[in-house]
Amino acid sequence: MTSRTLPLIEISGTPAERGRQYGEAVRPQIHAALAYYEEAFGQSAGLTWDQVTARAARWQEPVRSHAPHLLQEMRGIADGAGVTLLDVLALNARGEVIYDNSFAEMAEHQVETEPAEGCTSFAAYGPASGDGHVWAGQNWDWRAGVADTVVMLRVVQPPAPTVIMQVEAGQVGRQGANSAGIAFNANGLGGRFNNTIGLPQTVVRRSVLDQPTITDALDVLCRTRAHIASNALLTCREGFAVDLETTPAGHGWLYPEEGLLVHGNHYQAGVPAALAADYRPLSPDSLVRVPRATQGLRALRASTGPDESRKLIKDALSDHLGRPESLCTHPDPRKPTIEHWTTLVSSCVDLTTGDYHLTAGTPCDRDYQHLPWNLYDGPYGDAPYAEAPIAV
C-alpha cells in the first residue's frame, strides 16, 4: 500500500485573509495547476491561457453578485499565490470554460467529446448501514495531471459552519462536509444547454457547504442557476439523503432505496427535455460504475462497526470491472498523457462521529488517511444551527 497523503490547509479570518492564507500555503500547487491547464486547454480547445482567462472573466460579475465573499477569497488567493484574479477565476471555472460552446473560437474544436468530470458518489444509512452510522463519500475521477495539486482545505468562518473539502489548489469549493453534519458529493453530467451565464460549480458547491441546515443547502441548489449540469448528493447526520440532478434547464431528484443511494455521471432521475432527442451519456462507463458500487456497498448492511464499514466501503470503491475506466479509475495507456484520467481522491465521511477519511489517489492500493480534523471540532461543531447562514 502506498502512503502518500494530501496537504492539509486550514484558513480563517475575513474572506480576504482566508484567501491570502490559502494562496500562500498552496502557491506551488497553484502554479502547477496553471501550467497544466494551459497545456490542457490548448490541446482540447485550441485556446491560449490569455484566451482562457478572458473567457473566465465573464463569471466575475455573477460571482460578485451571488457570493461577494467568495470573490474576495479568490482575490486573496491570487495575492497570496502571486497570480492574477483571472487566473484563480479560471481555475474555479475550468469546467464551465471547457464545456461552454458559446465562444466562436471553440466551435472549430470537438470539445463535445470532452467527458464530463467523472465521479461515483454514495450515501448509506438506516437499513443500509449495519453499524447504524451515516456514511457519505465518493471516488473523485478527473485528470491525472492535477493529482499533485489536490489539497484538503478546512475553512473556519463563524458564524457559518466550518467546512472541510478536497479541492484543486486555488478552488473555493468542490466536495466535502461541514460542522452542521452535511456532506456534499458531486458528479458531472454533461449536456449542452443555452448560453445564459450561470454560476461556476465551485461557487455553487461552496455555497451549499456554507449552509447550516439541509433545507438551506437544498435552497441554494434550487434557487441558483449553475452554468453547467452537475449532480449533487446531499447527506445529513440525522439520517437523510437526497440527490439533485441540477441543470440550467431544470432539476430532477432521487431518494435512497432502503438507505442506499449511488450516483454516477449519467442522468438517473430522467433525461432533461432539452437533451432527450439525442442524449448519449458522455461517460458511458458510468453505466457500469453505478450498479457495481451499489452491489459492493450493500455489504455495509452486515457491518458490525465503523472500522469494518470503512473497509467495506474501500473494497466497494476499489472495483476494477472495465479497468481502466472502472469504478476505481486508472490512466488509460492508449491515450496521450495529457488526457489521462484517474481517481484523484476516494473519500469516506462518517457523519455520525465526524471522522473524515480519504485516499490520495486510487483506493485499490492505498489505505484511508484519517484527517486530524473532526467535523464537529470547535465551538460551532455541535450547534444544530449557525447563528446566521451566509446569504445566497
- What pLDDT is stored for residue 389 in this prediction? 38
Residues 6+ apart with CB under 8 A from 7: 25, 26, 29, 151, 152
Contact of 157 with 336, CB cutoff 8 Å: no
- What pLDDT is stored for residue 385 in this prediction? 36
- What pLDDT is stored for residue 113 in this prediction? 45
- What pLDDT is stored for residue 267 in this prediction? 97
Q: List the beta bridge partners of residue 261.
A: 123
Burial class (CB in 10 A: 0-12, 13-18, 19+), 330: buried
What topology does CATH give the domain 12-103?
Arc Repressor Mutant, subunit A (1.10.10)
Selected from 3.40.50.2000, 3.10.310.30, 3.60.60.10, 2.60.40.10, the CATH number assigned to the domain covering 113-370 reads 3.60.60.10
Provide block-wise average pLDDT over 10 residues at a time, the chain (392 residues): 87 98 98 96 90 95 97 98 98 85 46 64 98 98 96 98 98 98 96 85 98 98 94 98 95 97 97 93 95 98 97 98 97 94 97 98 96 86 42 39
Q: Indicate the SS3 state at residue 101.
A: coil
First-to-last CA distance in the chain? Answer: 43
- What pLDDT is stored for residue 109 in this prediction? 45
- What pLDDT is stored for residue 108 in this prediction? 45
Report pTM: 0.93
DSSP for 293-348 reads HHHHHGGGGG--SHHHHHHHHHHHHT--TTTTSSSS----TTS-GGG-EEEEEEEE
Q: In this structure, what DSSP letter does residue 148 have?
A: G
Query: Domain spans of the chain?
Result: 12-103, 113-370
Over its C-alpha atoms, the chain yields an Rg (Å, rounded) of 19
Rounded CA separation 147/125 (Å):
30
- What pLDDT is stored for residue 352 in this prediction? 98
Q: What is the signed CA dihedral for 70, 73, 77, 78, rounded to 10 degrees?
A: 70
